[in-house]
Amino acid sequence: MTLSLVEGSIAENGGPAQLKVSLSGKSSRPVTATFALSGPPGYRGKPYWTAGTATVRFEKGDNETKTVNVLTPIDDNVYRPGGGQVVISASTGDVGAAGHSGIASPSPVTLTITDNEKPPIFALELERASVDEDGRDVNVFGRLAPGNYPRGQIRIKLKLEPLTGHTVEDSVGFARYGGGDTLIRRARDWGRFGYVRISPTDNERNEIDKQFMVTAEFVNWQPSMGSLPEPVILTIRDDDEGPGPNLRVSIDERRIPKAGGDVTVTARIDTPAAEDTIVQISLHEDARNCWRAVFTCAPSSRETYPDGATITIPAGKLEGTAAVTMRIKPDPTAYRVPLVVQGRITSNGWATGAYRAGLLFGAD
């Protein structure tokens, strides 16, 4: 099997890229190839293309070349000198698997997407690149490059996108006074114009510094305005000490057979850490809740639910999971054995946070 491109280079606004898939001879079995695409992300991490046909199938004895639209570039009004390259590969599966055609996966091909935008004539400027969490507001200005004369009023809407694991709602926002979230360039404004104020939120939590990307979209775009301004990055320095984030744990099952089973435990914190967060997971009898059972219940005699199970929440992330195996020896007269799962943060020097998830019952 071989792959080839009808055109090795296409413009960002040039329509779909066509891929040819060929067999050198007739196969004694059906052959299926599944495509995969890899390449640079688009603006602000969004896709730079839309995937097209995902698979091609040759029936037994068929070796007619197949031509498919494998992807379509997205014309996103972003200036990219040199464009970007996309590697297109195809997999025929495991050659050694039962029922496989015996046809090996072909070599990949590379498609070049050429940019069709002009350089931006507008830029975003931050008054300061960083600010304390309890500091004053930061202004964002627009700037028009010299020698450009777009007509009329131009409105540029700004957006805040987190680069760390924080949320915009809890960390930062646009001030109501000033320009709201929109830069306005009036017809006679040259050089720097307008302003939008960004206000950090002092949340009194010990956490890593926050980073937000300030991006722009034209409200009333016209060709003379060029492509979108490049984003700028604002850092909000944390100024708090003391307890770390709040911890929550949850479980994927509410009942486990008396013979035992696995429970997937998820630990979640409400603000990311600069280093991995270690959460110790333990399981305990909860005899206080026996009244919930219709029949009698009693605490178990432990067999194996280990108190040493841990969940690692990676640095900069908010969530981690782990499978915990539970084995119990219930009292033979007990109908159900109430249990709780508990998590405790044991890293980063934070004060221990703890939360009990809902009940687990060892049930028939």
Q: What are phi and psi of 109, to 5 degrees?
A: -125, 160
Looking at the predicted structure, is the pLDDT value of residue 19 above 90?
yes
What would the pLDDT profile of 142-190 be if each residue is shown by its tens digit?
999 888 878 788 899 999 998 887 888 888 999 876 668 999 988 888 8
DSSP string, 270-290: SS--SSPEEEEEEEEE-GGGG
pLDDT for res 4: 95
**Residue at 128: amino acid letter:** R
CA distances for 71 relative to 11, 35, 45, 205, angstroms: 12, 10, 18, 45
Q: Is 127:139 a contact under the CB 8 Å cutoff? A: yes
Q: Is 343:235 a contact under the CB 8 Å cutoff? A: no
No. of helices (H) and no. of strands (E), the chain: 1, 29
Cβ neighbours, 10 Å, residue 151: 9
Structural domain spans, the chain: 2-114, 122-237, 247-363
Residue 188: helix, strand or coil by DSSP?
coil
pLDDT for res 120: 87
pLDDT for res 147: 83
pLDDT for res 119: 83
Query: Which option is the CATH number for 247-363: 3.10.20.30, 1.10.490.10, 3.30.930.10, 2.60.40.10?
Result: 2.60.40.10
Read off the pLDDT band of 295 (50, 70, 90).
very low
Query: Among 100-104, 307-311, 328-332, which stretch is predicted with the lowest mean pLDDT?
Result: 328-332
What would the pLDDT profile of 112-129 be if each residue is shown by its tens digit?
988 888 888 899 999 999
Q: What is the largest CA-CA distance in the chain?
A: 88
Query: Among 61-70, 171-180, 291-300, 311-320, which stretch is predicted with the lowest mean pLDDT?
Result: 291-300
Q: What are phi and psi of 223, to 5 degrees?
A: -55, -35
Looking at the predicted structure, is the pLDDT value of residue 206 above 90?
no
Mean pLDDT of the chain: 80
Residue 225: helix, strand or coil by DSSP?
helix
What would the pLDDT profile of 29-73 be if each residue is shown by its tens digit?
899 999 999 887 665 556 778 899 999 999 989 989 999 999 998
Pairwise CA distance, residues 243 & 2, whole Å: 59
Decide which of 302 and 104 is more confident: 104
pLDDT for res 294: 47
- CATH annotation of 2-114: 2.60.40.2030
Q: Determine which helix (DSSP H) or strand (DSSP E) holds 156, and give its type and residue range.
A: strand 154-162
Looking at the predicted structure, is the pLDDT value of residue 270 above 90?
no
Flag whether the pTM goes above 0.75.
no
Pairwise CA distance, residues 262 & 325, whole Å: 4
Same fold, 2-114 and 122-237: yes
Q: Is 88:109 a contact under the CB 8 Å cutoff? A: yes
- CATH annotation of 122-237: 2.60.40.2030
